[in-house]
Amino acid sequence: MHAITVGTGPLAPSDILAVARGGAGVRLSADAENEMAAGRKVVEALADDVEPHYGISTGFGALAVRHIPVDRRAQLQRSLVRSHAAGNGPEVEREVVRALMLLRLSTLATGRTGVRPETARVYAEMLSAGITPVVREFGSLGCSGDLAPLAHCALAAMGEGEVRDASGVLRPAAEALAAAGIEPVELAEKEGLALINGTDGMLGMLVLACHDLRTVLRTADVAAAMSVEALMGTDAVFAADLQALRPHPGQADSAANLRALLSGSGIMASHRTPDCTRVQDAYSLRCAPQVHGAARDTVAHAEAVAGRELAAAVDNPVVTVDGRVESNGNFHGAPVGYVLDFLAIAAADVASMSERRTDRFLDVARNHGLPPFLADDAGVDSGHMIAQYTQAGIVSELKRLAVPASVDSIPSSAMQEDHVSMGWAAARKLRRAVDGLTRVVAIELLTAARALDLRAPLAPAAATAAVRDRLRAEVPGPGPDRWLAPEIEAAVAFVASGEALAAAESVAGPLS
């Protein structure tokens, strides 16, 4: 894969995905090198000043009142990184660490932090060599940035701490850097502070989550279409003119997807007769565009916030364009934390509706002629009874994850940092929420596919049939009970990989 060039402007989400997940290398542009050199001159001029300047010749946070002599300033920066690398708990995923390193490098490249070009190059070299610092789950309060996670990365750049090499082997940072031919950085004035003072962890996780939600929400439309069809529902409510009466863009997109997916369905045509007594479907079927659409609009809002944050240069103090060095509060994670929480709420609600559709398949009072629990021999076999239990357990967990982290705050640094965003915590729980939503949608799709088979000889729409048929390459159709867990996991992989969506789009065309 080609290397991503980090310049003075914002990275695109696709760049972040390429580096975080695709393992792409990184290089700095000439403009970035020039801007960093210019910003560094400002810092060096202040370092020689007899007057104290925060982050350059003073301590940090509540210790900012102390003026640090010249001969102790390198130690000041090293001590800052070492003391702030205080994370604890399980390792954070490789893709998250690579995303936060890349985003910190992007801010360094603006020249607004005063970091030397050679310091920034170490980050680019580590990313290109596949060296991933070990970052721990707990430690960030999301104010003054993601201090602890970023400090672990800075510590590795100094040749200290632990990393995973390109093969995933845990190694001392000094050893891994030496093997890759990377010289550890010797931090100068302000550099330790600049390497740890950003919202890069929570922002990286936001970008990754938005990308994943775009896929799973379109797949939720696919699963909903299969459920509407196999439950003998109607697509009349998805008509464009009805949807236009409430002009939310996400709703319109979801309804258009449902119309495309259900086009030509023999099952639906079978009950479009004067004899049909169905007046209207349950909310979980009828209102799918309204809920799925609202979630889409939430993602769009989150992407707008992410775009603004990608264009930011977050540090404190910051080197302004006209050469001043000023303290500020731009490191506070509230803008990112809020949308991370908002997305977790949307994920929980879409999953809740998906579980309700699944449950309808299993109840003979509501499934319109299908066997109890879709079982082969009900009573001997349990069918998908416990698959719905699994779904319900995940949905309950998603409701707990929807409780916002960003409304919490806990004072730190002797009350200097007396209000924090908890954005890192919001991002961590959102990752779990996206995974949970993916699993819930996969179980609905698995169940709906079984129901479509049980409607034979009635034929499903071409698009939903394509999804079912592609799933059948991994999971057999109806029959006596089998070990269900591997089949659920296969369905989860089918959804998470984008294969389910691709199968639908191979017939229906691109879905919105």
Q: What digits encode the pLDDT tens for the residues 141-169?
A: 988 789 999 999 999 999 999 999 999 99
Looking at the structure, tell me whether residues 305 and 443 fall in a common domain: yes
Looking at the structure, tell me whether residues 229 and 159 fall in a common domain: no
pLDDT recorded at residue 417: 80
Q: Does some domain include residue 339?
A: no
Average pLDDT score over residue span 188-210: 95
CA angle 229, 465, 495 (to 5 degrees): 90
Work out the percent of the chain whose per-residue pLDDT is above 90: 84
Q: Which of 197, 221, 252 is the last residue of a domain?
A: 197
Q: Does some domain include residue 484?
A: yes
pLDDT recorded at residue 383: 97
Instruction: State the CATH number of the domain containing residue 491.
Output: 1.20.200.10
Q: Does some domain include residue 305?
A: yes
pLDDT recorded at residue 72: 77
Looking at the structure, tell me whether residues 360 and 454 fall in a common domain: yes
pLDDT recorded at residue 109: 98
Q: Compute the distance between CA of residue 9 and CA of residue 334 in angstroms, rounded to an integer.
A: 23
Q: Does some domain include residue 322?
A: no
pLDDT recorded at residue 433: 98
How far the first Cα of the chain sits from its last, in Å, is: 28
Looking at the structure, tell me whether residues 68 and 92 fall in a common domain: yes
Q: Which of 164, 197, 230 is the last residue of a domain?
A: 197
Q: Compute the distance between CA of residue 10 and CA of residue 344 in angstroms, rounded to an integer.
A: 26
pLDDT tens across 352-364, in order? 999 999 999 999 9
pLDDT tens across 99-149, in order? 999 999 999 999 999 999 999 999 999 999 999 999 999 988 988 789 999
Looking at the structure, tell me whether residues 191 and 231 fall in a common domain: no
Q: Answer yes or no: are the C-beta atoms of 149 and 205 closer than 8 Å.
A: no
Q: Answer yes or no: are the C-beta atoms of 374 and 447 closer than 8 Å.
A: yes
Phi, psi of 311 (to 5 degrees): -85, 0
Average pLDDT score over residue span 245-273: 94
List, by residue number, the catalytic residues: 54
Q: Compute the distance between CA of residue 391 and CA of residue 376 in angstroms, rounded to an integer.
A: 21
Looking at the structure, tell me whether residues 248 and 396 fall in a common domain: yes
Which structural domain range is residue 236 located in? 206-312+344-508
Q: Does some domain include residue 288?
A: yes
- Look at residue 415 and tell me whether its pLDDT is greater than 90: no
Looking at the structure, tell me whether residues 267 and 287 fall in a common domain: yes
- Look at residue 65 and tell me whether its pLDDT is greater than 70: no
Number of domains making up the chain: 2
Q: Which of 148, 163, 197 is the last residue of a domain?
A: 197
Average pLDDT score over residue span 409-422: 82
pLDDT recorded at residue 56: 77
Q: Compute the distance between CA of residue 401 and CA of residue 345 in angstroms, rounded to an integer.
A: 8
pLDDT recorded at residue 203: 98
119-124 contacts at long range (C-beta below 8 A, 24 or more positions apart): 119/157, 119/185, 119/187, 119/188, 119/191, 119/195, 120/28, 120/32, 120/36, 121/28, 122/157, 122/182, 122/183, 122/184, 122/185, 123/26, 123/153, 123/157, 124/6, 124/26, 124/27, 124/28
Per-residue confidence band for 48, with pLDDT thresholds at 50, 70 and 90 = confident
Average pLDDT score over residue span 234-251: 96
Beta carbons within 10 angstroms of residue 253's beta carbon: 21
Looking at the structure, tell me whether residues 236 and 162 fall in a common domain: no
- Look at residue 19 and tell me whether its pLDDT is greater than 70: yes
Average pLDDT score over residue span 389-396: 98
Which helix (DSSP H) or strand (DSSP E) does residue 26 occupy? Answer: strand 26-28
Looking at the structure, tell me whether residues 219 and 277 fall in a common domain: yes
Looking at the structure, tell me whether residues 193 and 241 fall in a common domain: no
Q: Compute the distance between CA of residue 272 and CA of residue 407 in angstroms, rounded to an integer.
A: 50
Mean pLDDT for all residues in the chain = 94
pLDDT recorded at residue 487: 98
Cβ contacts of 274 within 8 Å, gap of 6 or more: none
Helix or strand or coil: residue 286? helix
Q: Does some domain include residue 332?
A: no
Looking at the structure, tell me whether residues 186 and 214 fall in a common domain: no
- Look at residue 93 and tell me whether its pLDDT is greater than 70: yes
Q: Does some domain include residue 321?
A: no
Looking at the structure, tell me whether residues 26 and 168 fall in a common domain: yes
Between β-strands 26-28 and 4-6, what pairing exists: parallel, antiparallel or unpaired?
parallel
Q: In Å, how far are 43, 279, 357, 449, 474 from 352, measured between CA atoms?
A: 53, 24, 9, 19, 26
Average pLDDT score over residue span 449-475: 97
